[in-house]
Amino acid sequence: MTIQSENVLVLGAGQLGAAVLNALVPAVTQAQGSVTVVVSPGAWDEHGHLRSAAHQKWVDRGARFIAVDIVTSTVESLIPLLAQFDTVINCMGFVAGAGTQLNITRAVLAAGVRRYFPWQFGVDYDVVGKGSGQPVWDEQYDVRELLRAQTGTEWVIVSTGMFTSFLFEPAFDVVNLEQKTINALGGWETRVTVTSPADIGRLTTAIYLHQPRIVNEVVLIAGETLSYAALADTVEAVTGQAFKRGVYTLPALTDALRLQPEDQMCRYRIAFARGEGVWWPMEQTWNARHQLATQDVKGWLQEHLA
């Protein structure tokens, strides 16, 4: 089956959803298909107008926006909605809360959707397994198990590593541009794969469009795979400034989490400090094999600082 005239549903229009829509809407529209986007009821004002100019931009380009509160929806209530679509691309992320990804996946399978791109835009959960210290990652592993246990719905998992922007999130405390500090997770030679949301959106669309059709595969993509030492060198070279360097060792992070078990950022640091399933060689990526250029950390930083 080709994508000609497919009805595609995108769940969410946040940072990743927006990047996917930028590439997907023109491609699907050109193929005489349709793109429908699920956002929360709060996306409209009291006059029935979309609050976001970005949302309205995609409507003007042919996308349709509908209001569904996915977080409070049951599996049963989602089935009739999802059954209308050929492909579902889930861009909702972890903010939806625990259990939501499993609920969405169960509803997709029960609705008989032909093809599903789950929210797996992160690390390689097959390698990470369960017990990483990050409960939402355990749920992602369970989503993979659900998909592999059935044959009615084709699935494509796009593994991206960390969003490049997250390296520079002050609360994550890896690179703090304002305070000029860099903290390695695990150690300076620990590696991490990162991809910018813009590249994820572009490559996910290319993977969706690709012929022969990609079916039941985990597809690795990356903007760059680098060590924290290389990250520190890149940041200093681009900014022209010296940064204070530190290390979050795995034992120290484990002790910190014991004292503050609800600290989500500490859980993320632990998961990445383990260094397992959070990076892959560039030559193994879909974009490298297809000679598609991506933005590395240097490029992201130059763009951000500009």
**What is the mean predicted confidence (pLDDT) over 68-82?**
94
Residue 133 reports pLDDT greater than 80: no
Residue 14 reports pLDDT greater than 60: yes
Residue 62 — pLDDT band, cuts 50, 70, 90? very high
Residue 275 reports pLDDT greater than 80: yes
pLDDT in tens, 235-244: 999 999 999 9
Residue 114 reports pLDDT greater than 80: yes
What pLDDT shows up at residue 78?
97
pTM of the model: 0.95
Which residues lie below 8 Å from residue 62, measured CB to CB, with a gap of 6+?
A: 25, 29, 34, 35
What pLDDT shows up at residue 3?
62
pLDDT in tens, 43-52: 888 888 888 8
Residue 134 — pLDDT band, cuts 50, 70, 90? confident
Share of the chain above pLDDT 70, in %: 98
**What is the mean predicted confidence (pLDDT) over 203-227?**
97
Residue 17 reports pLDDT greater than 90: yes
pLDDT in tens, 141-168: 999 999 999 999 999 999 999 999 999 9
Residue 293 — pLDDT band, cuts 50, 70, 90? very high
What pLDDT shows up at residue 130?
86
**What is the mean predicted confidence (pLDDT) over 280-289?**
98
Q: Can you list the domains of the chain with their CATH numbers? A: 7-162+195-223+279-295 (3.40.50.720)
What pLDDT shows up at residue 259?
96
